[in-house]
A and B are shown apart, each in its own frame.
Chain A
Amino acid sequence: MAVPITLEFSGGAELLFANQKKHSIELPGSQKWDVKSLLPWIRDNLLQERPELFMQGDTVRPGILVLVNDADWELMGELEYEIQPNDKIVFISTLHGG
């Protein structure tokens, strides 16, 4: 059973995803998805360029803020958070300054 979720990239992170901010996707397969397995999936399926600006090791690059359903992912268990259908996950890059 596929899991439908919404991904959003902003603060400059969208530049790595062909300048598209919102992505509605379906995670394939019947296994359970968590953020830890979502990140490499994004890298392999959505990311257009420069993976090193998005991921570092098995987590996001320092300076990218992650929100799960508008709450800081630190409150949700970070990589261990188990993705539910219709979740909204937002990646905001804070590296651009301003």
Chain B
Amino acid sequence: MCSVQEEAIPQQLNQLTGKLQCVKCRRDVPVVVTRVNDAFCQDCFLVYAVHKFRSAIGKSKVIVPKEHVLVAYSGGPASSALLHFLQEGKKEGKLRFTVTVVHIDELALVSVSDKERQEKVQEVVEIVQQRGFPLLLTSLECAMDMVKPEAGESSQAPEMCKEVTSEKEVDALANPDKGDKLKKLLDSLPSISAKEEFIRVLRNQVLLGVARERGFTKVVVGDTATALSVRIMTDMAKGKGSQVSFDTTIGDKRYGDVMVVRPIRDLNMKEVEAYNRLQNVESISIPHIADQWHKSNSIEQLTAHFIHGLQENFPSTVPNIVRTSDKLGHQDIESLPEKCSLCESPLDTDVGEASALRAVEVCERLLQKDGASRSQSQAAQSSDCTQHDRVAADNMKASLCYGCRLTVKGLRDVSLLPTHVVQKSQSRCLSRDEMRAQISEFLLDDENGDTPNS
């Protein structure tokens, strides 16, 4: 780790201590310091925060008037602030779109009793009803079985979410079977970084699934600038660099039919907490699986720690990272029809022969060969089974983006993955084979040696 904290850092404190005036109105006593050295009084800060939220939506024009959007609410401080912004907008009659809130219950992963789980969901319901928005409830384990309904048979598919109409009707969409399946899958992922990444992808899948099922085209999420800057650096480290620009724009169009909107991406975590404090916005602390892993560090946790440490003394860290990623472009989505079966980002694996990805693959193959010759005797015993598994694994790998390949790397049995992911990779492979069969008579024979041998 970089030794940021130990370095001598020029003290800026003296300028701030004892400041008696707000930088904006030059009248009231400041209570919050934001950006580099700007001390705001309570009123000016609230105006500033609301303005950032509203101008993000207004300037980007991603939400058209009268649209019905889905807002993701976890119970945490950022999405709680988001709901409060929306409620305030609605009160003033300035909100030009209608809102339905969705909450994903993730407690299946944490060992809590059913009663405790119910209570937490109840808390969420109360807050959302207080804000006056309709609520949909769903659970993370739904993502284990999200078969896309074919046209015409959509009515048979089990619903992914349900409406909460009265407070008494709350029983979470807990599904013990799927929950166990999900736990088993997570247990078989080798590293904590992979588990975290996988949960994040699943959460995203559930959001998209609910949006599609209910016919929403926009999903609004409460990603703060701080969260995004951690996301950007983590993505880079996890081989998801090609997705950085999608992950951070205000209107994320990578999924085609559903757009992810991030209206509070200009606010950092400190501003969100200060806003919640000043407005008495409640948030719920929900036990999270990552809490159980605190002893061993993941890429994401280390990155977060690093960025928080830098931000402490260099308050322009977070905006700098986010702005830099704003400048990154991405390929036109229409020109990239193939999507990763897991995260639905455009596939980044169709690259030339002389690329880093190919080099990594060659190295892996060489390592495997080496290992295989040593354990040949063991492999021979169960060759039938492993052969079949390997084909499935190879098909799966081919249908994933580089980042997701790394996430599921080390997973022994790919059939543990969510049903829709397995199906997608199979159908992709089938359509490839069909295509190959159709054009087979026009293909040149590979035996002629025109393919370079690595």
Contacts and interface: CB of A to CB of B under 8 A. Distances in A.
A50 B294 contact: yes
A57 B283 contact: no
A94 interface: yes
B322 interface: no
A72 B41 CA distance: 10
Given A63-B308, A77-B18, A96-B285, A71 B76 contact: no
Contacts of B410: none
Given A65-B274, A90-B277, A98-B77, A14 B285 contact: yes
Nearest to B6: A57
A47 B13 CA distance: 28
A71 to B, nearest CB: 4
Interface string B1-27: 000010000000100111100000000
Contacts of B131: none
B309 interface: yes
Interface band, chain B: 35 or more
A70 B304 contact: no
A61 B79 CA distance: 23
Contacts of B79: 98
Nearest to B284: A98
Interface string A60-80: 011101010011101111101
Contacts, number: 92
Contact of B31 (A12, A61, A71, A92): A71
Interface string B199-236: 00000000000000000000000100011000000000
Interface residues of A, number: 29
B273 interface: yes
Contacts of A11: 77, 273, 283, 285
B269 A94 contact: yes
Given A15-B285, A96-B288, A62 B19 contact: no
Given A15-B285, A97-B227, A98-B77, A72 B32 contact: yes
Contacts of B80: 98
7 contacts: A14-B285, A57-B5, A61-B308, A65-B270, A71-B31, A75-B16, A78-B17
Interface of A: 11-12, 14-15, 50, 53, 56-57, 61-63, 65, 67, 70-72, 74-78, 80, 90, 92, 94-98
Given A75-B31, A94-B308, A95-B304, 8 more contacts: A63-B269, A65-B274, A67-B277, A71-B31, A72-B30, A75-B18, A95-B308, A97-B78
